[in-house]
């Protein structure tokens, strides 16, 4: 049996994984590989290898900011069948070209879109194991960097986190409703609503945690110990 992708909060993931393994220099490039979907170039000014569909791969492999923005706008305009992997690659490339708030938003959207999928469909029976593995890899490898930036400003992170979940609720992934994929027991629409409620509870828990002054101070102390500001809060 496959291990289920966890429904943990963004904050919990950041506290567990941290960023201590990263160099103290500013992190301006997310140099990760998640095969077969993405392989970063060795240098930020060179094109990565992208394989997430013909309509977007070329744009997301570009080193020009305007092409990455064009890809973002295409995803936003017609998101019904955009995969979580595509959204993860979009988040990475947005970070690489300096659009880091957008990167945070689409990273959270990608995670939430996958989680809703996994709570409605039977991933194993639907033969989506590769999707689960890829999303977990993207979240594990890119997450500490994107979250490292996101938590430079607690208020902004909270706003982007809530905005991402609202977007996922308003733009449900249509693969969830395809008969060719096996659903878990129960009505698909109701399962989706239940998944959104669980995600919202997680967001509320995270925000309540950082609303406590002592916990917020402890969290910031951990960031300082890991030199997070130097790595991620550059202008």
Give the predicted TM-score (pTM) of the model. 0.92
How confident is the model over 102-126, as pLDDT tens digits? Answer: 999 999 999 999 999 999 999 999 9
How confident is the model over 123-172, as pLDDT tens digits? Answer: 999 999 999 999 999 999 999 999 999 999 999 999 999 999 999 999 99
CB atoms within 10 A of CB 227: 15
How confident is the model over 171-184, as pLDDT tens digits? Answer: 999 999 999 999 99
How confident is the model over 16-39, as pLDDT tens digits? Answer: 344 444 457 999 999 999 999 999
Please give the structure tokens belonging to residue 227. Answer: 């030199």
Q: How far apart are CA 217 and CA 149, in angstroms?
A: 17
pLDDT given for residue 41 in this prediction: 95
pLDDT given for residue 10 in this prediction: 56
pLDDT given for residue 23 in this prediction: 54
Distance of CA 189 to the CA centre of its chain: 23
Q: How far apart are CA 218 and CA 186, in angstroms?
A: 42
Model confidence at 15, pLDDT cuts 50, 70, 90, reads very low
Q: How far apart are CA 118 and CA 220, in angstroms?
A: 32
Q: How far apart are CA 11 and CA 209, in angstroms?
A: 9
pLDDT at 79 over 70: yes
Do the beta carbons of residue 104 and residue 138 sit within 8 Å? no
Q: How far apart are CA 32 and CA 144, in angstroms?
A: 12
Q: How far apart are CA 75 and CA 152, in angstroms?
A: 27
pLDDT given for residue 18 in this prediction: 46
**Gyration radius from the chain CA atoms:** 17
Mean pLDDT of the chain: 92
């Amino acid at each position: 049996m496959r291990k289920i992708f966890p429904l943990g909060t963004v904050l919990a993931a950041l506290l567990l994984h941290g960023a201590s393994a990263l160099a103290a220099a500013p992190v301006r490039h997310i140099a990760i590989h998640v095969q077969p979907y993405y392989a970063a170039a060795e240098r930020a000014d060179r094109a990565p290898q992208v394989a997430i569909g013909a309509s977007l791969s070329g744009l997301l492999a570009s080193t020009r900011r305007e092409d990455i923005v064009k890809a973002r706008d295409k995803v936003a305009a017609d998101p019904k069948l955009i995969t979580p992997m595509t959204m993860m690659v979009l988040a990475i490339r947005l970070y690489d070209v300096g659009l880091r708030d957008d990167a945070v938003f689409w990273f959270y959207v990608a995670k939430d879109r996958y989680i809703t999928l996994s709570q409605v469909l039977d991933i194993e029976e639907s033969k989506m194991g590769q999707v689960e593995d890829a999303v977990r890899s993207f979240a594990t490898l890119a997450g500490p960097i994107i979250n490292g930036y996101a938590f430079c400003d607690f208020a902004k992170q909270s706003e982007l986190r809530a905005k991402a979940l609202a977007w996922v609720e308003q733009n449900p992934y249509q693969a969830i409703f395809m008969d060719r994929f096996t659903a878990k027991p129960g009505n698909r629409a109701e399962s989706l609503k239940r998944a959104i409620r669980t995600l919202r509870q997680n967001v509320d828990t995270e925000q309540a945690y950082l609303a406590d002054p002592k916990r917020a101070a402890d969290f910031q102390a951990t960031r300082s110990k890991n030199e997070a500001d130097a790595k991620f809060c550059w202008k």
